[in-house]
Structure 1
Amino acid sequence: MARDVSDLTPIGSKDELMSWVAAGEKPPSAFRIGTEHEKFPFYRDDLAPVPYEGRPASDGRPAAGGIRSLLEGMQAKLGWEPIMDAGHIIGLAGPDGGGAISLEPGGQFELSGAPVETLHETASELADHLADVKAVAQPHGIGFVSLGHSPLWTRAQTPVMPKGRYKIMANYMPKVGTRGLDMMFRTCTVQVNLDFATEADMVRKLRVSLALQPLATALFAASPFTEGKLNGFQSMRSEIWRDTDKARSGMIPFAFDEGMSYERYVDWALDVPLYFVKRGDTYHDVAGASFRDLLAGKLAQLPGERATISDWANHLSTLFPEVRLKRFLEMRGADAGSPEMLNALPAFWVGLLYDQAALDGAWDMVKGWSDEQRQALRDAVPKEGLSATIAGRSLRDIARDVLALSRAGLVRRARLDGSGADESAFLDPLDAIVAADQTVSQHLVERYRSAWGGEIEPLFSELVL
Structure 2
Amino acid sequence: MARDQNDPTFIASRDELVGWFEAGCKPVEAFRIGTEHEKFPFRLADHSPVEYDGPAGIRALLEGMQGLLGWEPILEGDHIIGLYDVTGGGAISLEPGGQFELSGAPLETIHQTCSELHAHLAQVREIANPLGLGFLGLGMSPKWTLAETPVMPKGRYDIMTRYMPKVGRYGLDMMYRTSTVQVNLDFSDEADMVRKMRVGLALQPIATALFANSPFTEGKPNGFLSMRSEIWRDTDNARAGMLPFAFDDGFGFEAYVDYALDVPMYFVKRGDRYHDVAGASFRDLIDGKLAQLPGELPTVSDWANHLSTIFPEVRLKRYIEMRGADSGPTGRICALPSFWVGLLYHQPSLDAAWELVKRWSAEEREALRDAVPREGLAARIGNRTVLDVARDALALADAGLEARARMNSFGDDERVHLAPIMRVAQEEKSLAETLLQKFEGPWRRSVEPAFDELAY
State TM-score, norm by structure 1: 0.97
Question: What corresponds to 1:155 in structure 2?
Answer: 146
Question: What corresponds to 1:29 in structure 2?
Answer: 29
Does residue 14 of the first structure (1) align with residue 5 of the second (2)? no
- In 1, distance between residues paired with 2:278 and 2:47? 35
Does residue 383 of the first structure (1) align with residue 374 of the second (2)? yes
Q: CA deviation digits over 1:43-102, x for unaligned, max 9?
A: 010110000013xxxxxxxxx511001100000000000000121000000123521000
Q: CA deviation digits over 1:118-167, x for unaligned, max 9?
A: 00000000000000001100011000001100100000000000000000
- In 2, distance between residues paired with 1:458 and 1:301? 49
Question: What corresponds to 2:259 in structure 1?
Answer: 268
| 1:176 pairs with one of 162, 167, 170 | 167
| 1:363 pairs with one of 354, 371, 374 | 354
- In 2, distance between residues paired with 1:419 and 1:243? 46
Does residue 412 of the first structure (1) align with residue 403 of the second (2)? yes
- In 2, distance between residues paired with 1:456 and 1:171? 31
| 2:130 pairs with one of 108, 128, 139 | 139
2:3 is matched by which residue type in structure 1? R
Unaligned runs of 5+ in 1: 55-63
Question: What corresponds to 1:325 in structure 2?
Answer: 316
- In 2, distance between residues paired with 1:454 and 1:263? 51
Q: CA deviation digits over 1:8-38, x for unaligned, max 9?
A: 0000100000100110000000000000000
- In 2, distance between residues paired with 1:393 and 1:36? 31
Does residue 438 of the first structure (1) align with residue 438 of the second (2)? no
Does residue 235 of the first structure (1) align with residue 246 of the second (2)? no
Q: CA deviation digits over 1:187-232, x for unaligned, max 9?
A: 0000000000000000000000000000000000000000000101
Q: How far is 1:419 from its partner? A: 1.9
Question: What corresponds to 2:297 in structure 1?
Answer: 306
- In 2, distance between residues paired with 1:434 and 1:232? 22
Question: Which residues in structure 2 correspond to 1:37-76 (within 5 Å)?
Answer: 37-54=37-54, 64-76=55-67
- In 1, distance between residues paired with 2:215 and 2:123? 29
Question: What corresponds to 1:250 in structure 2?
Answer: 241
Q: How far is 1:408 from its partner? A: 0.3
| 1:112 pairs with one of 63, 80, 103 | 103
- In 1, distance between residues paired with 2:67 and 2:324? 34
Structure 1 window deviating more from structure 2 (94-103 vs 368-377): it is 94-103
The secondary structure found in structure 2 opposite 1:376 is helix
Q: How far is 1:304 from its partner? A: 1.2
The secondary structure found in structure 2 opposite 1:96 is coil
- In 2, distance between residues paired with 1:96 and 1:25? 22
1:23 is matched by which residue type in structure 2? A
Does residue 101 of the first structure (1) align with residue 92 of the second (2)? yes
Question: What corresponds to 1:86 in structure 2?
Answer: 77
1:40 is matched by which residue type in structure 2? F
- In 1, distance between residues paired with 2:175 and 2:245? 26
- In 2, distance between residues paired with 1:326 and 1:97? 20
Question: What corresponds to 1:60 in structure 2?
Answer: none
1:404 is matched by which residue type in structure 2? A
- In 2, distance between residues paired with 1:74 and 1:328? 28
State TM-score, norm by structure 2: 0.99
Question: What corresponds to 1:59 in structure 2?
Answer: none
- In 2, distance between residues paired with 1:412 and 1:462? 35
Q: CA deviation digits over 1:301-355, x for unaligned, max 9?
A: 1111101000000000000000000000000000000000000000000000000
- In 1, distance between residues paired with 2:77 and 2:88? 23
- In 1, distance between residues paired with 2:169 and 2:247? 28
| 2:197 pairs with one of 206, 213, 232 | 206
1:213 is matched by which residue type in structure 2? Q
- In 2, distance between residues paired with 1:134 and 1:96? 23
Question: Which residues in structure 2 correspond to 1:207-226 (within 5 Å)?
Answer: 207-226=198-217
Question: What is the total number of aligned residue pairs between the two structures?
Answer: 456
- In 1, distance between residues paired with 2:453 and 2:394? 28
Quick one: percent identity of the two aligned structures? Answer: 66
The secondary structure found in structure 1 opposite 2:127 is helix
1:372 is matched by which residue type in structure 2? E
The secondary structure found in structure 2 opposite 1:90 is strand
Aligned-pair RMSD on alpha carbons?
Answer: 0.6
- In 2, distance between residues paired with 1:182 and 1:438? 26
Question: Which residues in structure 2 correspond to 1:181-192 (within 5 Å)?
Answer: 181-192=172-183
Structure 1 residues 248 and 157: CA distance shift in structure 2, 3 A = same
1:10 is matched by which residue type in structure 2? F
Q: How far is 1:300 from its partner? A: 1.0
- In 1, distance between residues paired with 2:440 and 2:375? 19
The secondary structure found in structure 2 opposite 1:5 is coil
Unaligned runs of 5+ in 2: none
**Which portions of structure 1, spanning 4 or more consecutive aligned residues, are displaced by more than 4 angstroms?**
none
1:78 is matched by which residue type in structure 2? L
